[in-house]
Structure formats: C-alpha cells, structure tokens
Amino acid sequence: MVQSEAATVDEYLAELPEERRAVMTAIRDVCRAELPGFTEVMAYGMPGFTRGGDGVAFASQKRYISFYLPVGVRDALAERLADHDMGKVCLRFSSPRKVDLDLIRDIARATAAMPGPV
C-alpha cells in the first residue's frame, strides 16, 4: 500500500485486504490496551499513538508490515530485536502471519514506561 490518504484509523483499516486488516487491527488493539494516555492519530499516512508528539506507528507496506518505535525503546530492547528485520526505528514483518504480537506488546509497554513526551 502506498501512503494512505485516510483521515482516520478506521478508514485506513477499511482500505486493507482482509488478511492484513485482521493483523493491523490486532496491532491497534494491543496499542490501545498498552498505551494509556496516548492519542490515536493518523500521521504520515499511517496509524499511530502519540504522547507529546512522538510514539509508535504501524503501516501495511507493499512487501511487509512495519511497526515504528522510539529510538530509546529500540536501544532498550536491542537484544530482543536483534533477530528481527529492523531499520533504524522500523521493525518489519514479511507477512501478516509473522507479526509477533507479544513483541509488539512489549514494545508498547516499554514506550508507555518512557518518561515525559515520547
């Protein structure tokens, strides 16, 4: 999917094929549960949760599903993330079946635990 023009996360999810919609909804649900005090937003054409301007985001890309996380969380979880396909702050899953919701949950919890704006 190229950058979405959706105005809301619900619109974004509705644009996705069913297999991707299911896992993207699951990621959203994990973030909603684990990021109290964060605001759900659409930014840069993808859903995200922010507190003070930064936070986490996720997207359905053409060849993978991406999850963007704060640098501090990436550094804190470096050992756990070492075996995953990572960019500077982007965790990539090659297919919906490979999305690790337990890892997403741990990233969200670590993000929520960061002091002040994320």
Write down the pLDDT at residue 115.
81
What domains does the chain contain, in order, with CATH numbers? 9-113 (3.90.1150.200)
Would the pLDDT of 72 be above 70? yes
* pLDDT given for residue 117 in this prediction: 66
| Mean pLDDT, residues 47-72 taken together | 93
Average pLDDT over residues 49-76: 93
Asked if 81 and 90 count as a contact pair (C-beta separation under 8 A), the reply is no
**106 with 77: CB under 8 angstroms?**
yes
> How does pLDDT run across 1-43, given as a tens digit for each residue?
557 889 999 999 999 999 899 999 999 999 999 999 999 999 9
pLDDT digits (tens, 9 = 90+) for 80-118: 999 999 998 999 999 999 999 999 999 999 999 988 765
Task: Report the predicted TM-score, pTM, of the whole model to 2 decimal places.
Answer: 0.93
What is the pLDDT at residue 2? 57
